[in-house]
């Protein structure tokens, strides 16, 4: 037991600080992906909800692609594809090509996946809002932007939150894939520790526990947000 604890010690003797750095990277990556994915997903949902056929088709192609591809494949396509694309573009205009950061590649890939699933959540939330809400807002003389901001969005958030919190938990787990393209997240740091210390089971188990703890913390946070969105219901 003591030997295991010393493996997790801080500093040069143990792997505690390395793994903590990995946790930091995992959390930052997930938090950096979330807003991009949410905004993209919202606009894709708007596009799917629109009456314009070209917009609908384009949005459907987007979600079919990124919901159907394995997340790992999306990551590789973005990582290697962007690299090749940037190299070609930069050399053709006579600049030295820049290396694509694996953090950015991971963020883009995860945002694409997150947003295509989020658009489905937003879309079904849109369907849950009665058309009377739009008609009422229009009767009050609200502009389209005002209707969206003051009437639809507050209700949309409440309807979409359960689905979105599910997607957040999936996102947290999907961040582990970036360890494959060399980002030092929880899993990669644990892998290094496992290889060096030859305690593979212990370190991978610790990594699993860290993901569990992160999801428990998230659930508590999501519960608070849910209570906050429902604060209007209390009086009734």
Partner 1 sequence: MTDAALPPPPPAPKGWTGARLAGHVFLGFWVLAGFAIVLGVATGWDGTFLATYGPRLIEGLKVTLWLVFWSLSIGALLSLPIAAGRMSKSRILGGFAFAWVYFFRGTPLLAQTFLVYYGAGSFSAELKALGLWDFFREAMFCAVFTFALNTSAYQAEILGGALRNVPKGQREAAAALALPRHVTFFKVILPQALIVALRPYGNEIILMIKGSAIASIITVLDLMGETRRAFSRSFDFEAYLWAAILYLVMVEILRRVWDLLEKRLTRHLQRREE
- Compute how many other C-beta atoms are within 10 angstroms of the C-beta atom of residue 131: 7
Of 173-202, which residues contact partner 1 (CB under 8 A)? 173-174, 176-177, 179-180, 187, 190-191, 194, 199-202
Q: Which is nearer to partner 1, 65 or 154 (CB)?
A: 65
Distance CA 226, CA 153 (A): 15
76 binding partner 1? (CB under 8 A): yes
CA quadruple 116, 169, 130, 140: dihedral sign: negative
52 binding partner 1? (CB under 8 A): yes
The residues, any chain, with a CB within 8 Å of residue 179's CB and separated by 6 or more, are: 185, 187, 188, 191
For residues 220 and 22, the answer to whether their CB atoms sit within 8 Å is no
Q: Which is nearer to partner 1, 55 or 129 (CB)?
A: 55
- Compute how many other C-beta atoms are within 10 angstroms of the C-beta atom of residue 37: 26
For residues 36 and 117, the answer to whether their CB atoms sit within 8 Å is no
Q: Which is nearer to partner 1, 176 or 229 (CB)?
A: 176
92 binding partner 1? (CB under 8 A): no
What minimum distance in Å lies between the beta carbon of 191 and partner 1? 7
For binding to partner 1 (CB under 8 A), which residues are involved? 47, 50-59, 61-62, 64-65, 67-73, 76-77, 80-81, 84, 169, 173-174, 176-177, 179-180, 187, 190-191, 194, 199-202, 204-205, 207-208, 211-212, 215-216
């Amino acid at each position: 037991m003591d030997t295991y604890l010393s493996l997790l010690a801080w500093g040069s003797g143990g792997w505690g600080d390395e793994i903590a750095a990995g946790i930091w990277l995992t959390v930052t990556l997930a938090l950096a992906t979330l807003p991009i994915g949410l905004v993209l997903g919202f606009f894709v949902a708007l596009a799917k909800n629109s009456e314009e056929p070209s917009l609908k088709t384009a949005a459907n192609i987007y979600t079919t692609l990124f919901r159907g591809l394995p997340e790992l494949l999306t990551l590789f396509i973005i990582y290697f594809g962007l690299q090749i694309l940037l190299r070609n573009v930069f050399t053709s205009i006579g600049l030295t090509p820049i290396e694509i950061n694996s953090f950015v590649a991971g963020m883009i890939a995860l945002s694409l996946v997150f947003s295509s699933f989020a658009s489905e959540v937003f879309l079904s939330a849109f369907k849950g809002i009665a058309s009377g809400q739009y008609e009422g807002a229009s009767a009050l003389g609200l502009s389209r932007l005002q209707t969206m901001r003051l009437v639809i969005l507050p209700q949309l958030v409440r309807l979409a939150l359960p689905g979105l919190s599910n997607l957040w938990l999936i996102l947290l787990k999907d961040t582990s894939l970036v360890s494959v393209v060399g980002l030092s997240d929880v899993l990669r740091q644990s892998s290094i520790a496992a290889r060096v210390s030859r305690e593979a089971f212990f370190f991978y188990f610790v990594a699993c526990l860290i993901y569990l703890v992160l999801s428990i913390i998230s659930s508590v946070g999501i519960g608070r947000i849910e209570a906050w969105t429902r604060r209007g219901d209390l009086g009734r």
